[in-house]
Every structure is written in structure tokens, then in C-alpha cells.
Amino acid sequence: MNQVSNNALLSFALDLASAVNHPNRFEQLVYAVRATINCDAVVLLAHHHGVLTPLAQRGLSDDVMGRRFVIEEHPRLREICAGHYPVRFPAHSTLPDPYDGMVLGHDEQLPVHSCMGVPLYLEGKLIGVVTLDSILPGVFDDIDARALEIIGAMAAMTLNTAMLMEQLENQSQHAQNVLKVMGEQSREMIGQSKAMQDLKQSINLVASSDFSILIEGETGVGKELVARALHERSNRSDAPMVYVNCAAIPHHLIESELFGHVKGAFTGADRDRDGKFLLADGGTLLLDEIGELPLEVQGTLLRAIQNQEIQAVGKDQIRKVNVRIIAATNRHLETEVVEHRFRADLFHRLSVFPIQVPALRDRQGDIALLAGFFAERFRRKLGLQQLTLSPAAIQLLEAYHWPGNVRELEHVISRAALFAKADNATGITVISSAHLTGLQIDDSFQEKIQKNELEPLRLEKHKPIDLRLETETYQRNLIRKALEENQGNWTKAAQQLSMDRANLARLAKRLGIVVAKEVRI
């Protein structure tokens, strides 16, 4: 029986009251629900424009936090969101569950048997959903409907307050749903690591200013995504953001591309043409691959930025513009300046506020989230009912050094999704470590992952290895395994690992593992 007593409801209310002021307020709300209703998994999701975004979860694989669930594509979520009352699905329901194959500690192919959803409404508006799942059938059947409505109402008020406080603390605005640049949709910055928190803080700090910004980072880290976030959070968000790839323009046409030209200015100029500066007037100009700009053009660009004036090729008239400059490069421009390949005065003009985008290998704990985000995207593209990643696959992804960063991870997941679909065209499609092709990892280590073994690596001659990354991966896997074996009880997990609980919590936080409030037993 899974009844909810009055004492349990009182404890739930007290837990919610403490959750609002807790640094991990969303995790605390999930804890409160799970402590009140016995289940294998709980997910708290926020609703925004027909999409459910996980805010916190317990009992599912880490990659669920990177997924974005389009309500219309998931029949159970659609049914939960359709009304104002909790929905319980019978064990024999044929509707696919969005979490099939993701419950920790169970066979990855095992579908969820019991599922319940509580829509969270505030003043008639759907603001979120709490889903509860169990691998045992019928465990939610005897819960009093009125008790569930009370839980839903209290959770909705707490969620709304928590989200408002989150916004105030971050001092940021909601990103626009549709970016008015290049006709593309805005993309979310996925990541909870310390490196990503620092990056987002820098974006929020400088976005509202008109400072020129230099974004530096390796190929594939998401520099353009950072530039879009800066524009969306700026006072120019209603104006266009114009993109220029400096490396893709022939040298003799760069000035025309930037400043425009008049008809007859050069061979092939058969009509007047506005340059990118004029198109971006009032908005933002993103100069991507700025390090590839020829020296002879850098001086002209410097004058345009300094004076906010442009002169079209073949035209005597000078025109004033109001443009914010964001430059991006995968080069180290200070070195380029020292070696006289980039003008020092232009460098200082561009780098009023430099932003360094971290490499994926430095984003501890983000790989599983990104993998889940891409898996959900390709699930939709391939028309799959469900697409999950096996624990061994996630372990392999976290062990790789990712020279191509997030872009490479996206490509790896896209290939793996195709291979997994070919192996299993119906039901739960699982990406295994065997589907992750193109990752240059020591063969013996890959065999250990495929066997789901966690013993330390044996160093081999002539094969370089990043000891810090491998050690952290090993520690992360041990902690997760201990938590799974102890049903999320951090005290028992610490005892199993011969550690003090506080030290275990600090280590887990550094490794990107969410530290939740102690589970009551």
C-alpha cells in the first residue's frame, strides 16, 4: 500500500517550506515528493511553451537532465498536462513512457510499470509537472486522490516561488523563444559544471552593457552560442544580430562584405549593396574567426569600431552606425599580436571584456547532460519511441578527451543513434558503448567499460593518458555505484567507501554529482 497520511502531508509541507531557501531548491522539492510517496524515480519539470525541461530528478540516469520533452511528442506527458488533476496510468497502458530504460539499478531494457503525473498549475496556468515512476505495477493505485491534489497545489506554489527566486538571484531575463538572427531558433546552453556556471555568470554580467567582447575557445566549444546568449540578454535583443565568418570571405571582398559597396565600385559590382555593419545597425555584429582577418583590413575595421562610422567601397559619403561588436576566435590573439599577425590596437579594442569558453574536457559532469540533450534531439529526428544511453556508454563518453568538444559529441551521438536504431527499430532503443564509433581510447580501457568494470587502469608504455581525468572518472563511477547500491543514502554510501559523509559530499559536488538532502529511512 502507498497511502499518504496526514503526518506525511505535514512533513511534506515542512520540507517544501525549507526547500525555497535551500541552495538546491529544486532538488529539495524532489526529495520532499519522494519522501512522501514511495517510488523508484521522481522528476520535476518546468513548462515553457509546450516543452517540459527537467529541473531535478532522483532515480533516473543523469542524461535525463539534458533532455527537453516536447509535450505533443510524448502521449503520457500530453495526458498529464491536459487536465488539472493527477493522472495514474494502468500497468497495462500501451502509451510509451518517456523514461523507459532510464531507471537506475535495473535492466536498461526494462520498461516502467507504474507511472503517475501531477500537473502543477498556478492561477490557471501550467507551470510544471511532477512525474513518479516505479518498476512495480500498481504501487500508486491506492493513493488518495485528494491527497495528491493537495501535494500538487503545494508543489506548484513552491515551484513558482523557487523559479522567481532563481531569476532574482541570477539577475537575468528569460531568453527569447525565437532568435531574430539568421532565421534560426535560439539554443539553450546545457551544463551545470562550475566552468559553465562561471561562463553564464560572465554572460549575465556583461550582456546588458555595450562593451565589445572577445570570445575565445577551442573549435567546437560553442562560441557562437555564447554570442547569441549575449545578444538575447542585451538591450539590443529586439534588433538584429548579424553573423560574419571572416575566414570564409575572399580577401579582396572583405571590405565590401563589412561596409558595403556601390554599383561599379569593382568588377562584378552590378548593384549597390549594404554591408554587414549597416545591416546590424542598432543591433549586434558577430565577427567569427576574427583571427583570420588580413592585417590590411584590420586597420579599417578598427576605425569603424572606434568612430562607429563606415564608408562603402566606391562611395565618398561616411555614414554613422550604432553597432555592438562581438568577436570570436579559436586562436590565442595575444600570441598573434606578439608575432605581428594581429594588430595590438584592434586586439585591445575588441577585448574590452574577454570571455573564455571552457573545453568540454574541463566541464566536469556536463557530458552526460549534453549526451541526453542530443539523444532526445535525434530521437525526434529519427522518429524513435525512446532513445537511451547505457551506463557503459556514458562511462565511455566521460573517459574520452573530446578534442572536437561539444560539436564532436553531437556528431558521435548522431552516429550512435543511427547504429542503435539499426540494431533495434522498435521499443526502447539503447545506445551502447559499441555504437560510439570514432573515439580514440585505449583498447583495454574500452574492454573494461564494456564489461562495466570499475578497477583502476593499467598504464601501458607509449600510450599517453590523462591521469587526472581518468582518476576523476573512476571516482565518479565508484560514488554512483555506491549510491545506487544504497538507494541514494549518502551516509551508507560514505560508510561503504570508508569516507566521512561530509568529505564524500564535497568530492561528489566537485565531480558534478548532485548532492541531495539525506534520505530518511
Residue reference for cell 511532477: 130
Instruction: Kindly state whether residues 239 and 307 are assigned to the same domain.
Output: yes
Instruction: Kindly state whether residues 65 and 121 are assigned to the same domain.
Output: yes
β-pair partners for 243? 286
Instruction: Kindly state whether residues 374 and 337 are assigned to the same domain.
Output: no
Instruction: Kindly state whether residues 207 and 306 are assigned to the same domain.
Output: yes
For residue 63, give the CATH number of its domain.
3.30.450.40
> Rounded to whole angstroms, what are the CA distances from 486 to 30, 31, 398, 478, 483?
18, 16, 23, 12, 5
Q: At what angle do helices 443-450 and 391-399 cross, to 10 degrees?
A: 160
Instruction: Kindly state whether residues 114 and 201 are assigned to the same domain.
Output: no
* Residue 24 domain flag: yes
- Cβ-based neighbour number of residue 5 at 10 Å: 11
Instruction: Kindly state whether residues 110 and 252 are assigned to the same domain.
Output: no
CA distance from start to end of the chain: 17
* Residue 465 lies in domain: 362-510
| Per-residue DSSP letter, 435 | G
Q: Where are the beta strands (DSSP E) in 239-322?
A: 241-245, 260-261, 273-274, 284-288, 309-310, 319-320
Total length of the chain: 521
Question: Distance between CA 101 and CA 285 in Å, rounded?
Answer: 45
Residues 192, 369 contacting (CB under 8 angstroms): yes
For residue 248, give the CATH number of its domain.
3.40.50.300
Residues 3, 19 contacting (CB under 8 angstroms): no
From 322, 357, 392, the end of a domain falls on 357
Instruction: Kindly state whether residues 394 and 466 are assigned to the same domain.
Output: yes
* Residue 315 domain flag: yes
* Residue 182 domain flag: no
* Residue 110 domain flag: yes
pLDDT of 101: 83
The model's pTM: 0.72
Instruction: Kindly state whether residues 336 and 371 are assigned to the same domain.
Output: no
Say whether 5 sits in a helix, a strand or coil.
coil
> Rounded to whole angstroms, what are the CA distances from 321 to 45, 282, 501?
44, 7, 59
* Residue 185 domain flag: no
pLDDT of 109: 58
Identity (one letter) of the amino acid at 470? E
pLDDT of 68: 93
* Residue 117 domain flag: yes
From 341, 357, 373, the end of a domain falls on 357
From 302, 328, 357, the end of a domain falls on 357
Instruction: Kindly state whether residues 338 and 389 are assigned to the same domain.
Output: no
Reading the block at residue 380, the C-alpha cell is 525526434
* Residue 151 domain flag: yes
Between the CA atoms of 179, 182, 185 and 189, what dihedral angle is there, to the nearest 10 degrees? -80
Residues 275, 257 contacting (CB under 8 angstroms): yes
Identity (one letter) of the amino acid at 130? V
Instruction: Kindly state whether residues 238 and 373 are assigned to the same domain.
Output: no
Between the CA atoms of 199, 200, 205 and 209, what dihedral angle is there, to the nearest 10 degrees? 90
Say whether 319 sits in a helix, a strand or coil.
strand
Q: Which residue, among 60, 71, 63, 101, has the nearest Cα to 429 in the 3D structure? A: 101
Instruction: Kindly state whether residues 199 and 133 are assigned to the same domain.
Output: no
pLDDT in tens, the chain (521 residues): 455 556 666 666 666 666 555 567 788 888 888 888 888 889 999 999 999 999 889 889 889 999 999 999 999 999 999 988 889 998 888 888 898 888 886 655 566 678 988 888 888 889 899 998 888 888 888 788 887 888 888 888 878 777 776 665 553 333 332 233 333 444 678 998 999 999 999 999 999 999 999 999 999 999 999 999 999 999 999 999 999 999 888 888 888 889 888 887 777 777 778 889 999 999 999 999 999 999 988 999 999 999 999 888 888 888 899 999 999 999 999 989 999 999 999 999 999 999 999 999 999 999 999 999 999 999 999 888 889 999 989 999 998 999 999 999 999 999 999 999 988 756 789 999 889 988 876 655 556 555 554 444 444 444 555 656 777 787 888 888 888 888 888 888 888 887 777 678 778 877 878 655 444 43
pLDDT of 264: 76
* Residue 266 domain flag: yes
Question: Distance between CA 362 and CA 380 in Å, rounded?
Answer: 29
Instruction: Kindly state whether residues 349 and 409 are assigned to the same domain.
Output: no
For residue 374, give the CATH number of its domain.
1.10.8.60
Half-sphere exposure of 84 (CA within 13 A, CB side): 8
Q: Where are the beta strands (DSSP E) in 135-184?
A: none
Residues 455, 448 contacting (CB under 8 angstroms): yes
The number of distinct structural domains making up the chain is: 3
